[in-house]
C-alpha cells in the first residue's frame, strides 16, 4: 500500500513582520549547468538591490535530469543558492538517485510535494524527510511553502525500478492535500503562503481544467510559481476568500512561471528567470498595484566560477569544430530544430555504421523534448554533448509501417500547438515531410545520403514497412505516441551522447543539418 510521507512542522509563535517579499524564481532547469554561473551573479545582485523585506530563491521544479552527470553539481547549487523546490517529474524520474543526492548533500528539507506518495517500504532517510509543506523564517518574517508534483507523472514517465515506489495523486486528491497544508500553515500563524506547482497550467489528463486557477481558488495562497509545460505565465487569479477590508472583492493570487510566449521563445535550463517585488497589506494580502514582475535573460549577467570548480579537463576537451554554427531554434518544439537535426544525423550515422549492409536503417526520428540545450558555438566538448543530450535512454532500430510513421508525425505536429507543448514536432534525418494546417501529414519522403528521394511514402501502402532509428523511450510507446511502441526493437545499448562522441571523433563528414527538412503550412 502506498502512503504519503508527512513531515510535522514545529510550533512557532505568531510574528507578522515585514510587508515586502522579494523573489527570484525559475523552473525546468533539467540538470543543465550552462547558465548557473550567470544566474548566481544575477541572484546576488537582486539581493543587494533589495534590502527592504525578505529575499527568496524559489524553483517551480525539474532541477535534475534523470541520469545526468550534472546532478551532483545541481544539488550543490541548490544547497547554496535555492531556498525551496517543488518536486518535478524529472526530479523523481530517477527517485532513487534523487534520494541519494539529497541524503548525501543534506538538502531533503528543500524539496516539497503535497501530492507525492512514496511506498513506506522504500528505505531512505531523504524520502522520509520530503515534506508536503514547510515554514521558513528570515529576519522575523515567516513564510509557508507548499509543493505540488505533476499530475500526469504516472503516465508520462517510464516506470521502472528507479521510480516504481513513487506515484502522484490525481487532481481531486491533490486539491484536498493542498487545502490541508494551507490550514496547517495558517494554524501555525503563517499569513504568507507560496505554492510551487510543477503541474503546468493545463494537461492532457484533465482537459479544459486550468490548474493554476483551481489552486488559486483554494484560498490562503498568495503566490503560485509554476512549471512543467515550459510556457510563460504572468497573471493574477482570484482566491475563494473575500477581502477583510472589502468583502465585495476576493483576495488576489499572483501566478508566474518562465517559458515561451509571444515575446519569449522556448525557455528552460535556466536560460531565463524572473524577479518579483511583492507588497502585502496588514492582513497579509497582496497589493497588486504595488507588485512587480520582470523576466531576465540569464546570459546578460557576468559569470561566477561556481560550476568551473566541478568540471574536469576531460569534460571540457573539444571533440570537434563544426564548419556550420548550430544556431538555437526559436520555439524548437514547434519548428524545425537544427540541433535536433544534428542529433538525428548522429543517431542515423551510428546505427548505419553498426548494422550489416542488408539491415541498414532508412531514416531517424528525434523527439525534440529530449534535446535539452543548444551548442553555443562551433567547438563541441564532451560536457556540451551531455548538456544537450542528458537522457540515458538507448538508441534502437525498429520496423515501422507507413501508417505508424504518419500517425507519429501527425500527433507530434498537433502537439506543437500553444497549449500542448510536448512531445513537439518530430525531427528527422534522411526524411522530409509537410505539416498541413489541419495537422495532417503529406509529402513524406525517405532520402539517401545525397538528399535524393528513395521512397515517396504518399505512394506506398499503409502496411509497407521501413526501418527507423529512434530511442528506447519512444519504443516503449509513451503517452500520445503509443503508435511507436515496438517489442522487437534492436537495442544498441548506447546513449545518444555516447553515439555522438563516436560520430564526432570518427572523421565522418558532417552533412548539412541546417537544410530544411520540414515544411509547415500555416
Q: What is the pLDDT of residue 319?
A: 72
C-beta separation of 400 from 484 below 8 A: yes
Pairing assessment for the beta strands 111-112 and 292-297 based on DSSP bridges: unpaired
Q: What is the pLDDT of residue 16?
A: 43
SS (H, E, C) 442-477: EEEEEECCCCCEEEEHHHCCCCCEEEEEEEHHHHCC
CB atoms within 10 A of CB 292: 10
Q: What is the DSSP letter of 110?
A: G
- The alpha carbon torsion through 486, 497, 335, 445 (nearest 10 deg) reads -50
Query: Rounded CA gap, 163 and 66, in Å?
Result: 11
Which residue do the cell numbers 481544467 mark?
209
| 382, containing H or E segment | helix 382-388
Query: Rounded CA gap, 305 and 43, in Å?
Result: 14
pLDDT along the chain (522 residues), means of 10: 35 48 95 92 97 95 86 94 95 84 86 91 74 91 95 79 85 97 96 96 82 97 94 94 89 94 69 95 92 94 92 72 56 69 95 95 91 74 84 93 96 69 82 90 95 95 97 88 93 95 90 83 82
Q: What is the pLDDT of residue 334?
A: 60
- For 360, the 3-state DSSP assignment is coil
Closest alpha carbon to 371 in 35, 65, 49: 65
Query: Rounded CA gap, 413 and 133, in Å?
Result: 39
Q: What is the pLDDT of residue 472?
A: 93
Closest alpha carbon to 413 in 390, 441, 386: 441
Whole-number CA gyration radius for the chain: 24
Query: Rounded CA gap, 284 and 230, in Å?
Result: 30
Q: What is the pLDDT of residue 89?
A: 92
Q: What is the pLDDT of residue 83?
A: 97
Query: Rounded CA gap, 115 and 150, in Å?
Result: 9
Q: What is the pLDDT of residue 207?
A: 77
C-beta separation of 19 from 140 below 8 A: no
Q: What is the pLDDT of residue 495?
A: 94
Q: What is the pLDDT of residue 370?
A: 83
Cis peptide leading into residue 335 (ω within 30°): no
All structural domains of the chain, each given as residue ranges with its CATH number in brackets, are: 3-14+24-308 (3.60.21.10), 312-520 (3.90.780.10)
| 254, containing H or E segment | strand 250-257
Amino acid at each position: 500500500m502506498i502512503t504519503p510521507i508527512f513531515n510535522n512542522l514545529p510550533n512557532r509563535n505568531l510574528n507578522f513582520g515585514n510587508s515586502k517579499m522579494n523573489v527570484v524564481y525559475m523552473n525546468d532547469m533539467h540538470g543543465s549547468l550552462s547558465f548557473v554561473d550567470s544566474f548566481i551573479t544575477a541572484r546576488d545582485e537582486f539581493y543587494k538591490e533589495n534590502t527592504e523585506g525578505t529575499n527568496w530563491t524559489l524553483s517551480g521544479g525539474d532541477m535534475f535530469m534523470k541520469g545526468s552527470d550534472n546532478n551532483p553539481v545541481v544539488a550543490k547549487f541548490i544547497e547554496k543558492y535555492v531556498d525551496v523546490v517543488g518536486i518535478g517529474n524529472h526530479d523523481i524520474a530517477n527517485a532513487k538517485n534523487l534520494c541519494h543526492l539529497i541524503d548525501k548533500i543534506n538538502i531533503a528539507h528543500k524539496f516539497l510535494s503535497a501530492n507525492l506518495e512514496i511506498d513506506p517500504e522504500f528505505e531512505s532517510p531523504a524520502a522520509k524527510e520530503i515534506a508536503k509543506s514547510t515554514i521558513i523564517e528570515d529576519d522575523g518574517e515567516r513564510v509557508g511553502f507548499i509543493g505540488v508534483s505533476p499530475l500526469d507523472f504516472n503516465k508520462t514517465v517510464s516506470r521502472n525500478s528507479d521510480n516504481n515506489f513513487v506515484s502522484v495523486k490525481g487532481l481531486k486528491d491533490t486539491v484536498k492535500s493542498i487545502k490541508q497544508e494551507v490550514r496547517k500553515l495558517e494554524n501555525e500563524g503563517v499569513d504568507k503562503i507560496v505554492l510551487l506547482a510543477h503541474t503546468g497550467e493545463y494537461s492532457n489528463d484533465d482537459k479544459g481544467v486550468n490548474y493554476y486557477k483551481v489552486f488559486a481558488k483554494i484560498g490562503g495562497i498568495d503566490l503560485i510559481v509554476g512549471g512543467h509545460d515550459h510556457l510563460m505565465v504572468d497573471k493574477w487569479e482570484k482566491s475563494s476568500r473575500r477581502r477583510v477590508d472589502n468583502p465585495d472583492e476576493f483576495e488576489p493570487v499572483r501566478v508566474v512561471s518562465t517559458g515561451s510566449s509571444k515575446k519569449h521563445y522556448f525557455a528552460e535550463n535556466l536560460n531565463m528567470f524572473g524577479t518579483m517585488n511583492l507588497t502585502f497589506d496588514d492582513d497579509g494580502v497582496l497589493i497588486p498595484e504595488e507588485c512587480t514582475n520582470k523576466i531576465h535573460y540569464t546570459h546578460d549577467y557576468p559569470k561566477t566560477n561556481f560550476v568551473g570548480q566541478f568540471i574536469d579537463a576531460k569534460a571540457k576537451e573539444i571533440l570537434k569544430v563544426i564548419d556550420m554554427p548550430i544556431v538555437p531554434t526559436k520555439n524548437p518544439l514547434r519548428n524545425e530544430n537544427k540541433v535536433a537535426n544534428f542529433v538525428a544525423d548522429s543517431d542515423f550515422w551510428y546505427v548505419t555504421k553498426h548494422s550489416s549492409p542488408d539491415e541498414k536503417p532508412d531514416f531517424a526520428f528525434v523527439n525534440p523534448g529530449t534535446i535539452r540545450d543548444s551548442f553555443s558555438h562551433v567547438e563541441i566538448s564532451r560536457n556540451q554533448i551531455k548538456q544537450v543530450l542528458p537522457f540515458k535512454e538507448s538508441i534502437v532500430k525498429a520496423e515501422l509501417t507507413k501508417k505508424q510513421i504518419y500517425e507519429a508525425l501527425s500527433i507530434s505536429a498537433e502537439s506543437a500547438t500553444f497549449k500542448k507543448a510536448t512531445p513537439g514536432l518530430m525531427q528527422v534525418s534522411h526524411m522530409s515531410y509537410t505539416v498541413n494546417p489541419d495537422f495532417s501529414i503529406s509529402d513524406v519522403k525517405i532520402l539517401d545520403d545525397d538528399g535524393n528521394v528513395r521512397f515517396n511514402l504518399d505512394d506506398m501502402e499503409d502496411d509497407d514497412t521501413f526501418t527507423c532509428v529512434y530511442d528506447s523511450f519512444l519504443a516503449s510507446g509513451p503517452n500520445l505516441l503509443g503508435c511507436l511502441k515496438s517489442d522487437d526493437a534492436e537495442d544498441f545499448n548506447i546513449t545518444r551522447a555516447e553515439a555522438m562522441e563516436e560520430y564526432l571523433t570518427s572523421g565522418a563528414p558532417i552533412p548539412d543539418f541546417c537544410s530544411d527538412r520540414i515544411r509547415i503550412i500555416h
